């Protein structure tokens, strides 16, 4: 790609990258706000775990283009393409975060949960002092999967006019201009890689040292 290409498209690439980040960021934020509390609630009412995780699973299997299409005719949502994109991306991000929050907390050694109760921690203290910190690396792993998936799927949001780096890809495909396709695809891939390693760092940072074991 030449210098004239960048002087022509540089600022657009930058704008679309910011747009891409905003769509993905908003979706991840919404998904986290929904899925982490939902995951915690499921650990308290495990009989709901199967159906709720099942629904999130089904959402995940809807092809992304179809998902954007389904949301298009809905009132309020259909008025602004970005809304559709954020709702669809949120739906895709729910499952990994929900599943990992649930599995992360359920996977804690039951002895520790029991001790937390027996020494007189309140339910709230148990959640914030013991369960969430011990499940944190799991939850970040879910967040990582969700983010990387969303950055990829967000490129398709351009199909409904929501913007983002998919814009360049679709335009490149339509005009058979590989430079434009790459101008959209490479930054999207870089975003995914950066998000993956940054969240990977967080995941490792919160990983708890080998479980306590009395047997040597």
Partner 1 sequence: MSAALQFRDVTVAVASGRQLLQHVSLAIEHGTVAAILGRSGSGKTTLLRTANRMVVPTSGVVEIAGASEIDLVGLRRRIGYVIQEAGLFPHFTVERNVGIILEAEGRPKAQRSNRTREVLQLVGLDPASFAHRYPHQLSGGQRQRVGLARALAAEPPILLMDEPFGALDPLTRSEMQDMLRALLHRVEITVLFVTHNLDEALYLADQIALLNEGKLIIDMPRDEFLSSTKPEIVAYVRAFRRAEDGVNRKAHPA
Is 134 or 154 the residue whose CB approaches partner 1 more closely? 134
* Shortest distance, position 116 Cβ to partner 1, whole Å: 8
Residue keyed to tokens 């970005």: 82
Closest CA to 207 of 146, 135, 128, 112: 135
* Shortest distance, position 54 Cβ to partner 1, whole Å: 28
Among the listed ranges 38-46, 143-151, 184-192, 205-213, the one in contact with partner 1 (CB under 8 A) is 205-213
Is 121 or 182 the residue whose CB approaches partner 1 more closely? 121
Is 4 or 211 the residue whose CB approaches partner 1 more closely? 211
* Both structure tokens of 109: 């050694």
Interface of this chain with partner 1, residues 90 to 109, rule: CB under 8 A: none
* Shortest distance, position 197 Cβ to partner 1, whole Å: 23
Does position 111 interact with partner 1 (CB under 8 A)? The reply is: yes
Is 79 or 212 the residue whose CB approaches partner 1 more closely? 212
Whether the CB-CB separation of 107 and 79 falls below 8 Å is answered with no
| Other residues' Cβ atoms within 10 Å of the Cβ of residue 52 | 17
Among the listed ranges 12-20, 122-130, 142-150, 164-172, the one in contact with partner 1 (CB under 8 A) is 122-130
Interface residue with partner 1, options 11, 57, 122, 178 (CB under 8 A): 122
Does position 3 interact with partner 1 (CB under 8 A)? The reply is: no
Interface residue with partner 1, options 4, 63, 73, 210 (CB under 8 A): 210
Does position 204 interact with partner 1 (CB under 8 A)? The reply is: no
**Binding-site ranges for partner 1 (CB under 8 A):** 111-112, 114-122, 125, 129-130, 133-134, 208-212, 214-216
């Amino acid at each position: 790609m030449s210098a004239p290409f960048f002087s022509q498209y540089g600022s657009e690439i930058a704008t679309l990258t910011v747009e891409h980040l905003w769509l993905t960021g908003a979706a991840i934020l919404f998904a986290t706000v929904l899925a982490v509390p939902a995951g915690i609630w499921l650990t308290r009412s495990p009989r709901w775990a199967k159906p709720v995780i099942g629904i999130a699973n089904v959402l995940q299997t809807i092809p992304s283009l179809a998902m954007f299409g389904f949301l298009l005719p809905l009132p309020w949502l259909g008025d602004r393409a970005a809304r559709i994109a954020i709702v669809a991306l949120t739906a895709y991000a729910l499952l990994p975060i929900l599943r990992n929050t649930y599995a992360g907390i359920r996977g804690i050694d039951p002895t520790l949960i029991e001790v937390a109760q027996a020494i007189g921690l309140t339910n709230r203290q148990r959640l914030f002092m013991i369960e969430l910190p011990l499940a944190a690396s799991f939850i970040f792993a879910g967040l990582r999967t969700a983010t990387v998936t969303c950055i990829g799927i967000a490129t398709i949001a351009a199909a409904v006019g929501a913007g983002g780096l998919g814009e360049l890809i679709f335009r490149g495909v339509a005009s058979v201009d590989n430079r434009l396709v790459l101008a959209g695809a490479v930054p999207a891939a870089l975003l995914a890689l950066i998000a993956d390693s940054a969240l990977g760092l967080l995941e490792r940072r919160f990983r708890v040292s080998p479980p306590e074991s009395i047997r040597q």
